[in-house]
Chain A
């Protein structure tokens, strides 16, 4: 299909095909393709530190996209996403070590296992919504966390469990640079899948359930099916993200997957923009870089006379936490639609510059 180089102001779409494209304009498509190609060559130019950040963005981004499908597109609330992420990590490590399944198969299998668990804990969504669902998922967060600490056969208990690096045709992806390609591939694959999901009947049904569930039901959308399906897909994404995390670090322990992680995932999608795939990625990048920026900020302060006080330097961990809280509150008060919305506004501003009306 021929598409335009720039999006015209106003809505001139005349066919469903135009309405359904992944890339709105030619420019966006080429920019995306070139970005992906450029990212493929990134290890040649960037140093190791940035590669680890990019890997972090990949696995967190996959999980955050899952949460955005659930929260942003279907309008269900989950406070247990961190636990599902952890479940994926443990499931993949467990499948690998106790069943001897090769790692590259473990990752999708862990996704499916997490999907099952997610649907089990998402089952109350068939009956309750909104606040009650938030509290139900909060309960599941604590129950799964408790399960990690207790089920030694599964998670290795307090000692944690080991996860082998990804091994494909005899080549072991055990360095940051090589794992980066696995993470990048998974990220691109899962995001394209997410985009396509939202163009399909199921995706539209999700949005209908979010916007007005009674009307959706009258139109013939099965509410229970789609609420549950949304939970399943979201946990599948969380599971894949968690499995990548496990095989990247090579070691999983139960301490990381607390309520704080669930909140961070929610923060990512709120900062990026609920119901926006592009926004998900923006939010993840923001949240990954926030602690790094703070750290270097404190590093700069340390060099000055007035900033070199133990209160600031020792309190770095708390400052990071406080910043997360502040960022969440700030975005919700000042920019509730997230970075994706802000980006559109900036684009519109420059499109009409200097004749903005």
Chain B
């Protein structure tokens, strides 16, 4: 058994898992505050990565400026999307809500392919050194940065929801819309804000992933891969999203390892999370940290 490879894979899994956690957090944020399941999460990553890439290549901005520009753009984009497309869907049955976000996902995926083409593009070099050695393991600089950014985002989320007025308003809205409305919270603003935050943070994750693997259409798959993570953690738990993301990130790498070493089934990296997803839904549909939905007549 190749322990060195296994440990390397587990570390990779944790790093990618943190990013799953970040994307999952956005997903949970939107679901919790607006009751909308966002199937277009992956497209946020894709759009963010492409916008940043375009601002670096065509506008020739320095990385930091391009990054900031992307964040501002994505915040506006998320808010606009909520206002134009998703506000009419409030109160519609769940199938309609799901289909609208799927429609958005198809539309933006095709639009990005149309504008930027299908071939993957890589970012201009941001770091001088490619990878550094930590405790005998090779860690790519971009991965290191992604870990840092993910941790920063998580701390920022924590501080925002715990200590800011807007965060409190969002938590209140998630808990009880009518009560918070009667206390003077603008639910409209909260909805728009949660989409803005989700779009911005997802775009950050998209840029980080784009720096590692290059920007291409395949970024949008992350939006689907995040489902196993959030279901495992519980759909309405932000902590659950992070834990679920880490577990799924490690799991797909370990599954890949055992598959390549012993089983030789192939394609385990992509498909193992979905088997796990089905098993969770069978035995514990509300996940590790989710609240069980109790229905009264």
| A71-B95, A130-B94, A143-B271 known; A322+B110 contact, CB < 8 A | yes
| A77-B94, A138-B227 known; A326+B109 contact, CB < 8 A | no
Q: B169-209, CB under 8 A of A: which get 1 and which 0?
A: 00000000000000000000000000000000000000000
Residue of B nearest to A212 (CB): B297
Q: How far is the CA of A318 from the CA of B117 in the complex (A)?
A: 10
In the complex, chain A residues whose CB is within 8 Å of the CB of B227: 135, 138-139
Contact among A150, A321, A327 with B266 in the assembled complex (CB-CB below 8 Å): A150
Q: Which of B98, B265, B266, B295 has the most CB of A within 10 A?
A: B98
- Count of chain B residues with Cβ under 8 Å from any Cβ of A? 42
Residue of B nearest to A333 (CB): B88
Q: How far is the CA of A318 from the CA of B110 in the complex (A)?
A: 5
Q: How far is the CA of A149 from the CA of B224 in the complex (A)?
A: 19
Interface stretch (choices B14-22, B60-68, B99-107, B130-138): B99-107
| A263-B102, A321-B106, A322-B111 known; A128+B281 contact, CB < 8 A | yes
Within 8 A of A (CB), among B187-243: 224, 227-228, 231, 235
Q: Which of B113, B235, B271 has the most CB of A within 10 A?
A: B271
Closest approach, in angstroms, between the C-beta of A242 and any C-beta of chain B?
A: 21
B285 within 8 A of A: yes
Q: How far is the CA of A333 from the CA of B101 in the complex (A)?
A: 12
Asked if A143 and B275 make an inter-chain contact with CB atoms under 8 angstroms apart, the answer reads yes
Contact among B95, B235, B267, B277 with A77 in the assembled complex (CB-CB below 8 Å): B95
Closest approach, in angstroms, between the C-beta of B278 and any C-beta of chain A?
A: 5
In the complex, chain A residues whose CB is within 8 Å of the CB of B109: 321
| A146-B271, A150-B265, A214-B295 known; A131+B110 contact, CB < 8 A | no
Q: How far is the CA of A149 from the CA of B268 in the complex (A)?
A: 12
Closest approach, in angstroms, between the C-beta of A218 and any C-beta of chain B?
A: 8
A266 within 8 A of B: yes
B96 within 8 A of A: yes
B250 within 8 A of A: no
Asked if A135 and B231 make an inter-chain contact with CB atoms under 8 angstroms apart, the answer reads yes
Q: How far is the CA of A263 from the CA of B107 in the complex (A)?
A: 12
Q: How far is the CA of A249 from the CA of B123 in the complex (A)?
A: 43
Residue of B nearest to A321 (CB): B110
Chain A at the B interface: mostly helix, strand, loop or mixed?
Answer: helix
In the complex, chain A residues whose CB is within 8 Å of the CB of B113: 318, 321
B89 within 8 A of A: yes
A140 within 8 A of B: yes
Q: How far is the CA of A333 from the CA of B109 in the complex (A)?
A: 20
Closest approach, in angstroms, between the C-beta of B107 and any C-beta of chain A?
A: 3
Asked if B278 and A143 make an inter-chain contact with CB atoms under 8 angstroms apart, the answer reads yes
**CB-CB nearest 7 A-B residue pairs:** A325-B107, A328-B103, A325-B106, A321-B110, A318-B114, A139-B274, A329-B103
In the complex, chain B residues whose CB is within 8 Å of the CB of A214: 295, 297
In the complex, chain B residues whose CB is within 8 Å of the CB of A51: none
Residue of A nearest to B285 (CB): A128
A132 within 8 A of B: yes
Asked if B98 and A332 make an inter-chain contact with CB atoms under 8 angstroms apart, the answer reads no
Asked if B281 and A132 make an inter-chain contact with CB atoms under 8 angstroms apart, the answer reads yes
Residue of A nearest to B84 (CB): A333
Asked if B297 and A139 make an inter-chain contact with CB atoms under 8 angstroms apart, the answer reads no
